[in-house]
Structure 1
């Protein structure tokens, strides 16, 4: 775990991408939960997304309450005034009203205050059913579930659209580190059972999954060798290649998670007490983000939309 007086070095979009991979992978391995908290408090990764506006006035301040693995979000927001179809597939919803408001049900210091949701989940966003004076169409949400991995802080340094390679690399790195920690705890032996047989199975699986992660990290490292910082105007083909590698890393991590958890279930007994479960819980926000990082902040939105042959038209707003 990171010492409170010695936080991890917050490498950002001006750092070389190979260094970003090395630093964030180590952080994800040391303490996945703290790695994610530090990352989201430092970098507002949702800043490039379309951000809705909550109406002013205390009676209508958005309310955020903790929910299992995430948050329940309620309130009224308005989309920015822009031509229909420009919102994009994801929208960021702040729970601030003129100034940052406390989050009901969380600590006094507050929790995340910016929540990212699919645009298609916003009821009435096209029709503007809310009649308040507003910059754009309004909509109301009641207890909309937002996973922890889709929440961040408006106080973090805003990332830019051009920082996509940094976000994808950092999140993939944290996911690889968290998965490496999962393989570490597979050596745990629950009481009872055939100790010798189970030890052999654990060792074989642990070795196999560790090798898979090692190979994936080497592949990603090879892709990043010679790459400058994300803000050094990476060529579009390089950005796209990095996005593909980040998505591949996320797929590998989810494969490792599934294999490790299936092994724990096969042991029988009270699997909830296995240390792997705690690591999975701590890693969940990273894994949620890793699946969608390159979609939330793609390397080239215009090129991606053209390549998808008008896929945005299926998304409200």
Structure 2
């Protein structure tokens, strides 16, 4: 099967120019062009691509957002942790009725000084957690206006559930944009891993005879990703931008394919990681482990992207309790 036209020509992101990044590709861009761009961007440099995306687009903007409760003690504290961050502090959740599957917890304006770390201007400052995190939190004062007060202590937030409040806010109706971008980034990152495994990625050495994965197995992983790319490219082919009005039929076909692509990418990455570890300290491990770690935020997001931002703010058919996001290691 040949590649759809949109898959044959890629644009590479200029991560040093966020303004240009915003104007070039966003909710006003056709889905096919978005998919081609972000798949290529994820392949080129997954870590830089994700940093540019979350710095440019505040994908958490449509979620229920809490307010830091600075008057009730020290402000929120964030600390880097394995594959993400730990978050502590107190927040008011206005009009919280327990129905929102996900909540966005901001650190607050300006530089935040915590017990363990300083989060400076320009660093991620908006953290998304499942509403279930509040069930075990300490609930406090409610003045009827600010909403109930919740205190969290060292809640783990994967890197893929963190974004920048200074980014351009997405709208509830921009779900298909986020789905397309994240799925494409994940597929691109995984494609680079299989190419590194095969020794065909740019700036990588040819595979040595001691590489633990047989060429046929590596080719099978690459073929799986190829099929997922074709399936998604076919759905978004000719689709307008979300701001022009993505047909509901496209969203209905896109959502399950995005979820399917996310699962396929995790299968590929798990297999690649297993073989990288089996190689000990040789070339595969040195090349692949940093790439996998740099791609982890994309993989976190890809697993739950259709639940994080359902179309038009509707409740997700697969709520957060279907899985514990804290167990995702990327």
Identify if the C-alpha distance between structure 1 residues 253 and 312 changes in structure 2 by more than 3 Å, giving closer, same or farther.
closer
Q: Paired residue for 1:255?
A: 267
User: What is the match of residue 202 of structure 2?
Assistant: none
Query: What TM-score results when the alignment is normalised by the length of structure 2?
Result: 0.81
TM-aligned CA deviation for residue 40 of structure 1: 0.4
- The structure 2 residue matched to 1:9, chosen from 21, 27, 31, is 21
Residue 140, structure 1, aligned to residue 154, structure 2: no
User: 1:5 and 1:302, CA in 2 relative to 1: closer, same or farther beyond 3 A?
Assistant: closer
Deviation by residue 1:145-165 (Cα, 9 ceiling, x = unmatched): 111100001100000110000
For residues 185-213 of structure 1, the C-alpha deviation after alignment (integer angstroms, 9 at most, x for no partner) is 2136xxxxxx54x4695432332222221
CA distance in 2, matches of 1:186, 1:232: 40
Q: How far apart are the structure 1 equivalents of 2:69 and 2:268? A: 44
Change (3 A) 1:313 1:286: closer
What's the TM-score once normalised by structure 1's chain length?
A: 0.84
Aligned-pair CA distance for 1:80 = 0.8
Do the aligned residues in 2 keep the contact of 1:147 with 1:285 (CA within 8 Å)?
yes
**Residue in 2 aligned with 1:298?**
310
Where in structure 1 are there 5+ consecutive unaligned residues? 189-194
1:100 CA drift (Å): 2.6
Counterpart check, 1:183 vs 2:197: no
- Determine if the alignment matches structure 1 residue 204 to structure 2 residue 216: yes
Pick one of 232, 240, 257 that aligns with 1:245: 257
Q: Residue in 2 aligned with 1:122?
A: 134
Partner of 1:102: 112
How many residues of Structure 1 are paired with residues of Structure 2 in the alignment? Answer: 300
Q: 2:58–2:165: 8 Å Cα contact kept in structure 1?
A: yes
Q: 1:106 to 1:275 in 2, by over 3 A?
A: farther
Give the aligned partner of residue 191 of structure 1.
none
- Please state whether the residue corresponding to 1:221 is helix, strand or coil: helix
- CA gap 1:54/1:216 in 2 versus in 1, 3 angstroms: same
Alignment of 1:201-240 (within 5 A): 201-240=213-252
